[in-house]
Amino acid sequence: MIKIAEVVEELIRQSPFITEAINEGLINISALARRLQPEVEGKLGKTVKSGAIVMAINRLQTGELMFIEKNIRLFFQQLSDISVRSNLSDYTFHNSDTLAQKQVRLLDMISRDYPNAFYSFSQGVGETTIIVTNSLDQQVDEIFSDEKCLDKESQLSAITLMLPIENRNLYGVYYYILKDLAWQGINLVELISTSNEFTLIVTDDDLDHAFSVIMGLRKGG
């Protein structure tokens, strides 16, 4: 028979924000128990006192999470390089039979005439996103003039983190980056990642704030 503690742990583990708030002592346990009470009762099929849920929360084994967080904080202190690029434009096109050919034309032009320009291609099932330095807007508009543009956003910036190679073996890295940005109310326009690089695309208005959050991670804050 499923126990109250098992249900409570399952519900809390679904929200990393709540788990961390419990660890930091930032949450009212009694209020949390009352919030969880209907879901606990629904899963158990019986009435459960809020006091029993409080006891289950207080008995949660959070040491593992704290150990993971400590390792990740040490990991971020090893960040050796953070770069920023501004004046970017973000295009989203509907995928078509001719879109790839246009991408090749754009890439050839950038390689030949703008070798230091920022660009990124990301192809999904139904659409493709192209991010370029906005000085190339005219060229993009011309090359893709007969493609269906679903969206265009300008006045963007990119923050690129050069991650230590250990990031491949340490889970939770991206969560801690995105969590801190979410807590600060910073919206992410796009995310770009390779094996050892992680790039955040934000609006120019959010750049300073986002950069300070990232530096806070680097300092172990």
Residues 107-128: tens digit of each pLDDT: 999 999 999 999 999 999 999 9
Instruction: Encode pLDDT of 64-75 as tens digits.
Output: 555 556 666 777
Q: How many Å apart are CA 3 and CA 5, to the nearest integer?
A: 5
Phi then psi for residue 32, to 5 deg, are -65, -40
- Residue type for 3, please? K
Cβ atoms 91, 103 nearer than 8 A: no
pTM of the model: 0.71
| DSSP codes joined into one string, 52-67 | HHHHHHHT---HHHHH
Q: Using the predicted structure, report yes or no on whether residue 80 has a pLDDT greater than 90.
A: no
Q: What's the pLDDT at 70?
A: 67
Instruction: Encode pLDDT of 136-174 as tens digits.
Output: 999 999 999 999 999 999 999 999 988 777 666 666 778
Q: For the chain, what is the mean pLDDT? A: 86
- Residue 37's SS3 state is helix
Domain boundaries, the chain: 4-61, 81-218
Return the DSSP state at 186: P
Q: What's the pLDDT at 220?
A: 59
45: region left, alpha or beta (phi > 0 left; psi from -120 to 50 alpha)? left
Residue with tokens 């890439």: 107
CATH fold for domain 81-218: VC0802-like (3.30.2130)
